């Protein structure tokens, strides 16, 4: 049975409110807030507790059952500050609008959709999906075994990635630290890409930048084959003794080389920028 919890605000510009309902450890929580801030924290209690400060005329809405809860501010436009505590393993979907988002201590699947607000995630969600328009994305903790991050104008910084990785930005820089990449795809249209990590045995990594440089520092064991193409720039190779060769009437360079046992596959493409490859 749907449980609706509504509270009327006093007349001040901001008013503190707090609510709580039971939730299964693997239940579903949806949080929405068009502007302001959202903070979601994992805890070891089988319930959802939420509160915050709302703009004048807003109400704190929340409803659901032990399997699903939906919550957020209702009423006139205005910034609200929400803090939500959920079971560690809950699946969480956040509709952030222009709000900033801070997530900590979750191990279930997390999905965040936002606009211009920054997003920070710390912990080890089993699956992490983030999409923003201009907001920067910062991910720490880990291991993040399934990661999908997309932003138009924001920068992306990721530490602790592992397994399946898909990261793309139109104009923001991408910095990524990863271990044991099984399937990786990193794309930036205009920004620089910096990646440090290891490609798993038989793993694949595809890195592409249309307008920015690409810097890769890769662990050389167990090994991988590299195909690097710089259409309008240069290639610096410190992974092996193989030198890149000129192509397209000397207006680009191609590098094909094997590192270690050559078991993985690394494909790198820069349309205007330079490619720099380092081993560790």
d(CA 225, CA 42): 41
First to last CA, the chain: 57
Q: How confident is the model at residue 247 (pLDDT cuts 50, 70, 90)?
A: confident
Nearest to 135 by CA among 169, 160, 163: 169
For residues 80-104, average pLDDT: 97
| Cβ-Cβ contacts under 8 Å for 58 (sequence gap 6 or more) | 9, 73, 74, 75, 76, 78, 80
What's the pLDDT score for residue 6? 34
Find where tokens 């440089």 sit: 213
For the chain, percent of residues with pLDDT exceeding 90: 81
- E strand or H helix at 21, and its extent? strand 15-22
| CB-side neighbour CA atoms (13 Å) of 99 | 28
**Could you report the per-residue pLDDT of 252-265, keeping only the tens digit for each?**
999 999 999 999 99
Per-residue pLDDT, averaged over 78-103, amounts to 97
Per-residue pLDDT, 250: 66
> Do 73 and 137 form a contact (C-beta atoms < 8 A)?
no
Distance CA 246, CA 253 (A): 4
Q: What is the pTM of this model?
A: 0.90
pLDDT value at 5 more than 70: no
pLDDT digits (tens, 9 = 90+) for 209-240: 999 999 999 999 999 999 999 998 999 999 99
CA 184 to chain centre: 13
- Phi then psi for residue 168, to 5 deg, are -150, 145
**Mean predicted lDDT score pLDDT of the chain:** 91
pLDDT at 19 > cutoff 90 = no
Quick one: pLDDT at residue 94?
98
Helix (H) or strand (E) holding 102: strand 100-104
What is the rounded radius of gyration, in angstroms, for the C-alpha atoms of the chain? 22
Residue 16 has what pLDDT? 58
Average pLDDT over residues 133-161: 94
């Amino acid at each position: 049975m749907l449980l609706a919890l509504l509270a009327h605000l006093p007349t001040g510009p901001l008013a503190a409110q707090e609510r709580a309902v039971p939730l299964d450890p693997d239940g579903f929580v949806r949080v929405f807030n068009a502007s302001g801030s959202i903070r979601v924290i994992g805890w070891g209690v089988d319930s959802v507790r939420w509160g915050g400060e709302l703009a004048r005329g807003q109400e704190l809405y929340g409803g659901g059952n032990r399997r699903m809860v939906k919550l957020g501010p209702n009423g006139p436009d205005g910034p609200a500050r929400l803090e939500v505590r959920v079971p560690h393993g809950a699946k969480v979907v956040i509709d952030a609008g222009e709000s900033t988002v801070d997530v900590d201590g979750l191990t279930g699947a997390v999905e965040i959709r936002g606009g211009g607000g920054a997003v920070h995630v710390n912990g080890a969600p089993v699956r992490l999906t983030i999409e923003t328009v201009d907001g920067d994305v910062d991910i720490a903790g880990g291991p993040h075994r399934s990661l999908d991050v997309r932003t138009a104008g924001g920068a992306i910084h990721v530490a602790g990635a592992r397994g399946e990785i898909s990261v793309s930005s139109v104009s923001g820089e991408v910095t990524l630290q990863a271990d044991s990449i099984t399937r990786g795809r990193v794309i930036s249209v205009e920004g620089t890409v910096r990646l440090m990590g290891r490609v798993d045995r038989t793993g694949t990594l595809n890195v592409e930048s249309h307008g920015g440089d690409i810097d890769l520092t890769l662990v050389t064991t167990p090994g991988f084959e590299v195909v690097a193409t710089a259409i309008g720039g240069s290639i610096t190779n410190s992974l092996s003794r193989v030198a890149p060769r000129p192509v397209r009437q000397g207006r680009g360079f191609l590098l094909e080389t094997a590192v270690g046992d050559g078991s993985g596959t690394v494909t790198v493409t820069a349309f205007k920028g330079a490619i720099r490859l380092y081993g560790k």
